[in-house]
Amino acid sequence: MTKLPINGDLVGLSVEPIAHSWTERDTMLYALGIGCRPPEDLDFVYEGRGPKVVPTFAVIPGLRAMGHAMQRIDINLAALLHGEQSVVTHRPLPPNADITVDGEIVAVWDKGKAAVIEFEGRGSDADGPLFTVGASLFVLGGGGWGGERGPSGSSATNAAPERDPDIVVERETRPEQAAIYRLSGDMNPMHIDPEFAAKAGFPGTFNHGLCTFGTIGHSVLGAWCGGDVDSFESIEGRFADQVWPSDTILTKIWDEGDHAIVEARTQRDNVVVSNGRATKRS
């Protein structure tokens, strides 16, 4: 198959519906991978209590649809960085499901020395739409083809307010967390193989960005939505820095009434997810 070059012609490139399924074992494994643990998170890791499904689990089937699209494009995967991510749940995710996922590339921007590809994925089951996920991918060396530069990033309205957060949630990441998270489908050796990470120029392995995204989403669910998956609607954010094994993630939440602004840092005070925003279902 001839792969498509990166340019504006990619907009509208779609993924035909793909059958996908999961079981409660998959949702509990995901929960463990993003740092849930008993007894405080028993609802998400024990079938005797449901289990409930962490809403950001939607990135797992969404990643499958995005992967199908990326396979059709001429991309050096070593030059691909995950820039932003969003999840909208149209209703709570069930612990067992048979769904179809599809999606399309909705924008491509020329940043000069790099390109940004924006993808939207959708999941539906027999009862209708279940979730919509969005991803912004930064492709080093993929720009310079004369396209529009596009927006600079997430809306400035998502910037952290100049006041103390209303809620701060502190979650420790465990040394084996990336090794568990990858079993949910993202098998990139960058997150488990020190030799592979060293060849890519890193001092060691680090956690998946989507693992961090899930940890933050779970913190928002618990602290801002009272753990109520019926209340949680959406979360988005921009990946700003890496989380290393055994880091502590501090999720800061500003309650703005109809939405929350979210930012996450580690114990070193480096921002790892910025321009975050969450909403509750009305």
pTM score of the predicted model:
0.95
For the chain, the domain total comes to 1
Asked if the structure places residue 138 within a domain, the reply is yes
Domain membership flag for residue 1? no
Residue written as token pair 């999941």: 123
Residue 2 lies in a domain: no
In the DSSP assignment, the letter for residue 4 is: B
Which of 57, 101, 109 lies closest to 83, judged by CA? 109
* Residue 221 placed within a domain: yes
Note whether 237 and 84 are within 8 A (CB): yes
Residue 236's CB is within 10 A of a number of other CB atoms, namely 23
The answer to whether residue 91 is domain-embedded is: yes
Strand ranges for 111-193 from DSSP E: 114-125, 128-140, 167-172
CA angle, 95 then 97 then 101, to 5°: 125
Q: Give the catalytic positions in this structure.
A: 186, 191
Q: What is the mean pLDDT of each run of 10 residues along the chain (282 residues)?
A: 93 96 98 97 96 98 93 86 96 98 97 96 98 96 94 70 96 96 93 91 94 98 97 97 96 96 97 97 89
pLDDT at 255: 97
Domain span at residue 202 reads: 8-280
- Residue 247 falls inside a structural domain: yes
Query: CATH code at 93?
Result: 3.10.129.10
pLDDT at 153: 56
Structural domain contains residue 93: yes
179 close to 190: Cβ distance less than 8 angstroms: no
Residue 54 lies in a domain: yes
